[in-house]
Amino acid sequence: MEKLKLDQLKRVSVEEFKNQEKLPVVLVLDNVRSMHNIGSIFRTSDGFSIKSIALCGITAKPPHREIEKTALGATQSVDWKYFETTLNAVESLRNQGYEILAIEQAADSTMLNIFEPDKEKKYALILGNEVNGVDEEVMKQIDKCIEIPQFGTKHSFNITIAAGIVLWDFFAKLRLK
């Protein structure tokens, strides 16, 4: 087996990316502190062609060298908007018709493997701070909570891993079925 070379990957240009159909998902980053995590989430969001990213609170904004280390240019392709607070982002997205879902461990959460996204809906997926998760005040405003099943000794995934798992699941269920 031979690896594909860059020119064989048939990547779209940034302009083509901007014009292609997007997964009806906005990722909401709730006070994410690591710029490397932010950059990785931009890169993963590009890979799954999501609608946009909402950067909230202390979450750093592009352009920034530390974000670009892991984004590798995805800050140019993926649309993003900054909000002073995550609650402001939730309110704005709800007014645009998005269903608001926290990715969190919580009472009455729905396991990701059980959750079936509706092809007629748009989703805002909230990913929380690396230490504290999704803010308690934000949790009071969500429509549903999605939990990633885990079977090891640790109690959480890194935010970039969680983003990748959830975006792949949504992409597979909405685009590949």
**Overall average pLDDT of the 80-89 stretch:** 98
**Overall average pLDDT of the 83-105 stretch:** 98
Q: List domains and CATH numbers for the chain.
A: 24-175 (3.40.1280.10)
Q: Which of 160, 165, 174 is nearest to 74 (CA)?
A: 160
**Overall average pLDDT of the 78-104 stretch:** 98
Using an 8 Å Cβ cutoff, are 133 and 159 in contact? no
pLDDT at 115: 98
- Burial grade of 165 (CB within 10 A; 0-12, 13-18, 19 or more): middle
Entry field: residues in the chain? 177
The predicted-structure confidence for 143-164, as pLDDT tens digits, reads as follows 999 999 999 999 899 999 999 9
The predicted-structure confidence for 46-67, as pLDDT tens digits, reads as follows 999 999 999 999 999 999 999 9
Cis peptide before 149 (omega within 30 of 0): no
How far apart, in whole angstroms, are the C-alpha atoms of residue 136 and residue 106?
A: 11
**Overall average pLDDT of the 34-38 stretch:** 98
DSSP run (H or E) holding 124: strand 122-127
pLDDT band at 177 (very low <50, low <70, confident <90, very high): confident
How far apart, in whole angstroms, are the C-alpha atoms of residue 17 and residue 82?
A: 21
Q: What is the mean pLDDT of the chain?
A: 97
pLDDT band at 85 (very low <50, low <70, confident <90, very high): very high
Token pair recorded at residue 104:
């969190």
pLDDT at 117: 98
**Overall average pLDDT of the 74-99 stretch:** 98
The type of residue at 48 is: F
Token pair recorded at residue 28:
């909401």
Residue 29: strand pairing partners: 55, 127
Q: Supply φ then ψ for residue 62, to 5 degrees.
A: -70, 160
